[in-house]
Amino acid sequence: MKTLTENHKGVKRVSLIEQTRILNSSQINEICDILEWTEIQYCEHQFEQYEQFLKRVLHGNDESFLSKVRHAPLMRGLWNNEWIQRNEEFILIARYQLFSGKEVDPSGEIITVPPPDHATFAKVYDDYHTLHNGNLLAVNHEFIVRFEHVLDLIFKL
């Protein structure tokens, strides 16, 4: 699969898929640093939430139906894209809450912001788990609308 293409001027361009992969990799690294996780812990959490979501929204369906949805590239794509969007929100909030260093206050003075305390880190950790919670996504109307659209596409193929 080609990820770089050249336009008529010889400029190399990165495909949207490759840009998404790069963004995802960058997010994983930053979130693992923030949460003090390994990449394996990050991926396990994402997969656990994927499974929780599917089991909740597809409760009562037979295993073959669940398996078809679970392994559908469209479903995994929806999940990954949602995760990336939620990561963007989380990273912005976490950077702000965990910031320490010099900044300018409203009066224009340079001040030193102390490192965050344990309670702040715990809040950031909880924020991540809330934002990336399969059970909460199962009752998120906007996400369910997108999920149902993907279900329609999976079973039309």
Distance CA 84, CA 21 (A): 10
How confident is the model at residue 11, as a pLDDT?
Answer: 65
How confident is the model at residue 80, as a pLDDT?
Answer: 94
Q: What is the dihedral of CA 12, 18, 20, 24, to 10 degrees?
A: -120
How confident is the model at residue 130, as a pLDDT?
Answer: 95
Could you give the maximum distance between any two Cα atoms of the chain, in Å?
Answer: 63
Strands 4-6 vs 12-14: parallel, antiparallel or unpaired: antiparallel
* pLDDT of 1 over the 50 cut: no
Q: What are phi and psi of 62, to 5 degrees?
A: -75, 165
0.95 cut: is pTM over it? no
- Residue 39 pLDDT level (bands cut at 50, 70, 90): very high
- Dig out the tokens for 69 from the structure: 């949805």
Distance CA 4, CA 49 (A): 33
How confident is the model at residue 110, as a pLDDT?
Answer: 92
How confident is the model at residue 113, as a pLDDT?
Answer: 83
- Dig out the tokens for 138 from the structure: 């199962």
Q: Where are the domains of the chain?
A: 42-156
What's the whole-number average pLDDT of the chain? 90
Residue type, 26: S
How confident is the model at residue 6, as a pLDDT?
Answer: 56
